[in-house]
Structure 1
Amino acid sequence: MNTTEIFLIAMLIIFSVPYLVWRLFRTDHYAPLVVVQIIGGILLGPGVLGAVFPDYYAFVFRPEVIQSLNGVAWWAVMIFVWLAGIELDLKAAWANRAETGVTAGLALVTPLLFGCAAAAVLLQFPGWVGERGQSWQVLAGMGMACAVTALPILVLFLDKLGVLRSDLGQRVLRYASLDDIAIWGVLALIILDWDRLGRQAAFLVGFPIASIAIRALMRRVPQTDRWYVGLIWLAAMGFVGDWAGLHYMVGAFLAGVVLDKDLFEERQMDSFRHIVLMTIMPVFFLSTGLRTQWDVGGVAVFGAAALLLVAAVAGKLAGVHLAGRILKWPKGEAAVIGWLLQTKALIMIIFANILLDKAIITNETFTALLLMAVGSTMLTVPMVKPRLARLAAS
């Protein structure tokens, strides 16, 4: 078979297997399709499929096929992160800055500290720090991974629970939005490339100027042209971000943050996000799974994932409950918000991918973080649904 045929076999596997599992086993309550696709990527990776059927794995996922898949995955995740940036409602966060600041701050800092403590335990053993990583970078990276909330998946869950447009749903989105900005800021600090400091300084000077220009241009072009202009802006910012040593996904996120959500129709935005999730993001999930490793031992990786999961869940709930006490929320509301903010898949995986690309963490650390993100996300809906019903009845 030629490379094109093998590539299409890989695409057939990527799209059919997770869908059939999701549909036949009706996993939507605890594992929506996006989570099944992430798990499918792990199972199709070298640690599972590659270990059980090495010849088959080597035949399908040969280097030239992986290279082609990575190209699709890069563009998919750039679009997805760009959309996440656009959806950040900074105006709403500013209008409610006192309440949003207290909640978002505690919901970020507390799990960050818990995660750093868990990472400090793991760093007592070899195998978790990447070739170019330093201990403080791994501590901050793993701590922030425990604090992440995946805004795009949170939107899907809120819609699924029927509270997306409610006051509670909009508040949760504000908290997650503010934390998203902090997360990308910390990431930029972690991956600061001293060898490209001049380029990064040029980026910091040029970005605000370019942002003012693109915002003015987007207001002037017709509504039908804004998606095209936005995608050109996305590609340019991804390139410049990578050239500056910040990573192309940081550039993609910033490209979205500076664009106002009201530039695009809400229905079109929802439809476009759904299409991206359905058509090309599964390739990113597969390429993510291909990067999982278990060389330090399966038990060690699962143990690390469990430790990080406890730190992430306990830290987030503690921080949100403390915010609830300070702000005098109704009984039960803090639990609902705390569990909703556990949603980590996608943004956490993107975050960990960047750390892995920069060789700050190892493949084993990446695998543990990936498992933690999947576990945290799968807990969200089952834990929120009964609490939300009790809150509505009270």
Structure 2
Amino acid sequence: MISKLNSEEILSFLIIVSIILISSRLLGELCRRFKQPAVVGEIMAGIIIGPSLLGSAFPDLFKEIFTSHPRSFGAYDGLANIGVIMLMFLAGAEVDLKQIRAQGKQAASISFMGIAFPFALGFICIWFFHDYIFNVPSTDRLIPAMFFGTALSITALSVIVKILLDLDIIKTKVGGLVITASMIDDFLGWILFSIIIQMMNAKGEEASFYSIGMVLLFVGFMITIGKWMVNKILAFVDKQLGGPASILTAAICLCMLGAVCTEYLGIRGIFGAFMMGIACGDSKHFTHSIQNLFHHFIVSILAPLFFASVGLRVNFVTNFDLSVVLTILGIACIAKIVGAGIGSRIGGLSKNESLAIAFGMNARGSQEIVLGMAALQAGIIDERIFVGLVVMTMVTILVAGPLMKYYLEKELKEKKVPVTNEEDVVLMVESPEIAAVQKN
């Protein structure tokens, strides 16, 4: 017999959703006022109303709101999971395969070095210092080491787009390279993470190879036959039903089917949604106006529910370990800045342009939080490591924009071009010839 929420549980569910949505949106908008991504405020909202602050100061009130009706919180958790699935679909839709092919060579060197250095350093640190960082002796270090390397490798595409928009350099050479390299990072990072999850679920060496093959087979299918099938489905919907609402409905259904497929295969559903997003985003029928409509709904309503849940699940006060936080922050920043910086120099960019790109690529965001949450639920990491990843994400977001602006302005000064406003940065990066004319 199907059991449904009773009246009291429905009331509790509505109260939980209302409190979380209002607090996360308010703090998210506050961060926007200070030109920071809303995700920082949304996570902070969860920390404030979660066990870290409200739960510690007013435990009875926290229990009455969030834990007195477990099924109500379970319903909210289901809604938050829908939010993260939709968010990853949106992230996939932002991956422009045509742009990757167009800027492939230069962006590939930035992305490859920006992934290789953090992955290698993260892997080595966990492999040799696992017991110190995790505080738990273990002989099985392969999966935690691979996860740690992967978690430190991904650049947050949505965050870096916001930073580039704030600096007004999104249409410049530097902006284009950062976006393209971030797309490649996202794509490769989620493939790596899905392989890790499959290896964790598999038993034995043969099963691990089978699991890796399954992930790669799914990726290959989605960027070839799957992409073609999705385009045909959207074309049929556009012709027979028409209108943005029909295309949007079809895209959401495809998103859910992609998540169902990978969850059934033992891969995380968020990966299926991400790959389906890539396929839909490549279709001409999933237009920019429809993507924007989808983007506003997800970013404004569903995503805040998920990011606030990050603070609700973990006590950031009791699980805050300064040595772990500094270790993760140090490894993440050093490896990413060095790797992306070297990749930029190999691509023919100047020293200051390379540093600007490196600090842009160092910005983490929603993908790291999603990946960390999935790893926490899978038992790959503990709460201390998760808190360290969240802190690292927020710090790299906060410093990326100012440091990118600093090095681009420094490039202008070294070329003896007067910096009067941010448009000078755009001119210099977009066209050295224009900058030379401006100088004269």
Q: Normalising to structure 1: TM-score of the pair?
A: 0.88
Ranked by relative contact order (alpha carbons within 8 Å, sequence separation 6 or more), the top structure is: 1
The residue correspondences of 1:66-215 to structure 2 (distance < 5 A) are 66-120=73-127, 123-125=130-132, 127=134, 134-192=140-198, 193-194=201-202, 204=217, 209-215=225-231
2:237 pairs, out of 221, 246, 267, with 221
* CA RMSD after TM alignment: 2.9
Distance 1:281 1:30, change over 3 A: same
AA paired with 1:346? S
1:164 is displaced (CA, Å) by: 2.1
1:321 is displaced (CA, Å) by: 1.8
- Single out whichever of 226-235 and 383-392 deviates more from structure 2: 383-392
1:148 is displaced (CA, Å) by: 1.3
Q: C-alpha distance in 2, partners of 1:228/1:27?
A: 29
Contact 1:41 1:285 in 2 (8 A): yes
AA paired with 1:385? K
Tell me, which stretches of 5 or more residues in structure 1 are unaligned? none
Contact 1:118 1:308 in 2 (8 A): no
1:357 equivalent in structure 2: 377
- What are the superposed Cα offsets for residues 145-172 of structure 1, whole Å, 9 maximum, x if unpaired? 1111111222222222212233322221
Distance 1:22 1:199, change over 3 A: closer
1:324 equivalent in structure 2: 344
1:254 equivalent in structure 2: 275
Contact 1:45 1:290 in 2 (8 A): yes
1:263 is displaced (CA, Å) by: 3.1
1:240 equivalent in structure 2: 261
AA paired with 2:377? D
2:407 pairs, out of 373, 380, 387, with 387
1:199 is displaced (CA, Å) by: 8.9
Q: C-alpha distance in 1, partners of 2:328/2:77?
A: 28
Alignment partner of 1:292 is 2:314: yes
Q: C-alpha distance in 1, partners of 2:9/2:404?
A: 46
Q: Number of matched residues? A: 390
- What are the superposed Cα offsets for residues 310-337 of structure 1, whole Å, 9 maximum, x if unpaired? 1111111111221232223134111211
Contact 2:248 2:290 in 1 (8 A): no
Distance 1:336 1:270, change over 3 A: farther
1:338 is displaced (CA, Å) by: 1.1
1:46 pairs, out of 48, 51, 70, with 51
Q: C-alpha distance in 2, partners of 1:189/1:199?
A: 7
Contact 1:41 1:287 in 2 (8 A): yes
- Single out whichever of 66-75 and 212-221 deviates more from structure 2: 212-221
Q: Larger radius of gyration, structure 1 or 2?
A: 2
Q: Give me the identity figure in percent.
A: 23
Q: C-alpha distance in 2, partners of 1:126/1:318?
A: 23
- Aligned residue for 2:131, secondary structure, equals coil
- Aligned residue for 1:180, secondary structure, equals helix
1:305 is displaced (CA, Å) by: 1.7
Q: C-alpha distance in 2, partners of 1:382/1:122?
A: 33
Q: C-alpha distance in 2, partners of 1:244/1:98?
A: 34
Contact 2:85 2:270 in 1 (8 A): yes
1:368 is displaced (CA, Å) by: 1.7
Q: C-alpha distance in 2, partners of 1:161/1:13?
A: 33
Distance 1:312 1:41, change over 3 A: same
- What are the superposed Cα offsets for residues 159-214 of structure 1, whole Å, 9 maximum, x if unpaired? 22212233322221110011111101111211113268889877847766544322
Contact 1:115 1:311 in 2 (8 A): yes
Q: C-alpha distance in 1, partners of 2:409/2:294?
A: 31
Contact 1:30 1:382 in 2 (8 A): no
2:416 equivalent in structure 1: none
1:61 equivalent in structure 2: 66
Distance 1:282 1:128, change over 3 A: farther
Distance 1:31 1:303, change over 3 A: farther
- What are the superposed Cα offsets for residues 265-286 of structure 1, whole Å, 9 maximum, x if unpaired? 2233234213211111111012
1:275 pairs, out of 254, 277, 297, with 297
Q: Normalising to structure 2: TM-score of the pair?
A: 0.80
1:127 is displaced (CA, Å) by: 4.4
AA paired with 1:324? S
- Aligned residue for 2:22, secondary structure, equals helix
Contact 1:89 1:261 in 2 (8 A): no
1:38 is displaced (CA, Å) by: 1.2
AA paired with 2:181? Y
Contact 1:10 1:61 in 2 (8 A): yes
Distance 1:36 1:283, change over 3 A: same
1:23 is displaced (CA, Å) by: 5.7
2:325 pairs, out of 297, 305, 316, with 305
1:134 is displaced (CA, Å) by: 3.9
